[in-house]
Amino acid sequence: MERDFIRWLSHRVRSQTSVPVGIGDDAAVLAPSRDGLVVTTDMLMDGVDFDSRKDDARRIGRKSLAVNLSDLAAMAARPEAAVIALALPRSGGRALGEGIYEGLFPLASEFGVTIVGGDTNSWDGPLVISVTALGRVHSRGPLLRSGARPDDEILVTGMLGGSILGRHFDFTPRVREAIWLHERFTLHAGIDISDGLSLDLARLAEASGCGAVVDLAQVPVSPQAHELASLRADGVSALDHALGDGEDFELVLAVPPDEAHKILTSPSLPVPITRIGRFTHESGLWKLLDDGSHEPLTPVGFEHRLA
């Protein structure tokens, strides 16, 4: 199966190759990068990140690349290439493999990503997809988690929560938005929301050696978060979903106050942006109370468990 599949793939990918040596040799060759190469990898597994019994192979394939592009967006990097490793179940593997690639090709071309190689294996286990994405550091430098300073504003893109209802497959990685903002404004730090707003915000604050106070009333709660809260009726509110659901793939940014003001009053934002709080000297995650004081906010979100 593998030889046939690779032949199909090389044929399918050849038309979009824009790198010195792409798919088909022992390894790929990329042009040197003046400002630095950004590398990120994300592995998706059947039963954790998707359900191959229910979910269309093309949506699974699209997601496997999109989650990696979201990490490049969090660095304000420009995507360039990707390497795809597939562990396909023996039964039905060929059709599944083709479906996965057909799902990720349109996203790759939308974001200027060339598929430069990978590996395709089959086995008796479930579908596993590991994508490694490569991008170029922006000439203004990479956007890191560690640059937030006390008094920076906390800004988020888009609407949060309830992505399990479908957006975790169909989201747009915020690559263009991150670069657009990075080129026009001073951003101190950024992270993408892969595991939940409160958890990822806490990670950014910790990496920056500061804390964060969130004004819960300002958190942009998505219609899907409301829908999920009423569908499940399990006491988890729409706001809880916005704070703790994984896979929003929006951006959290730390921005100095004057720059944040410029962003929030800009007439041409490529995505809605909301101020949800402020970074502080005092470490930890906090929620703002009506009287201006704050109390602890427990970070919740998705974490892989290891025994």
Which residues make up the interface to Mg ion (CB under 5 A)? 71, 192, 194
Place of tokens 């690639």: 101
Tokens of residue 187, six digits = 């951003």
If the CB atoms of residues 69 and 107 are measured against Mg ion, the closer one turns out to be 69
What's the closest the beta carbon of residue 176 comes to Mg ion, in angstroms?
17
Closest CA to 112 of 183, 175, 33, 168: 175
- Around 118, how many Cα atoms within 13 Å sit in the side-chain half-sphere? 27
What is d(CA 42, CA 284) in angstroms, rounded to the nearest whole number?
A: 27
What's the closest the beta carbon of residue 78 comes to Mg ion, in angstroms?
17
If the CB atoms of residues 96 and 212 are measured against Mg ion, the closer one turns out to be 212
If the CB atoms of residues 38 and 84 are measured against Mg ion, the closer one turns out to be 38
- Residue 157's Cβ-count burial label (10 Å; 0-12, 13-18, 19+) is buried
Fill in the amino acid letter for 303: E
What's the closest the beta carbon of residue 213 comes to Mg ion, in angstroms?
23
What's the closest the beta carbon of residue 42 comes to Mg ion, in angstroms?
8
Q: What are phi and psi of 293, to 5 degrees?
A: -85, 180
Give 60-82 as a DSSP string: HHHHHHHHHHHHHHHTTPEEEEE
If the CB atoms of residues 28 and 252 are measured against Mg ion, the closer one turns out to be 252
What's the closest the beta carbon of residue 163 comes to Mg ion, in angstroms?
15
Contact 248, 305 (CB under 8 A): no
What's the closest the beta carbon of residue 201 comes to Mg ion, in angstroms?
12
If the CB atoms of residues 152 and 192 are measured against Mg ion, the closer one turns out to be 192
What's the closest the beta carbon of residue 295 comes to Mg ion, in angstroms?
28
If the CB atoms of residues 71 and 247 are measured against Mg ion, the closer one turns out to be 71
Radius of gyration for the chain, computed over Cα atoms and rounded to the nearest angstrom = 20
If the CB atoms of residues 120 and 194 are measured against Mg ion, the closer one turns out to be 194
What is d(CA 250, CA 194) in angstroms, rounded to the nearest whole number?
A: 8
If the CB atoms of residues 177 and 192 are measured against Mg ion, the closer one turns out to be 192
What's the closest the beta carbon of residue 71 comes to Mg ion, in angstroms?
4
For 177, other C-beta atoms within 10 Å of its C-beta total 20
Angle between helices 57-74 and 175-184 (to 10 degrees): 10
Contact 271, 174 (CB under 8 A): yes
Contact 218, 111 (CB under 8 A): no
Tokens of residue 292, six digits = 């201006």
If the CB atoms of residues 122 and 194 are measured against Mg ion, the closer one turns out to be 194
What's the closest the beta carbon of residue 194 comes to Mg ion, in angstroms?
5
What is d(CA 60, CA 287) in angstroms, rounded to the nearest whole number?
A: 36
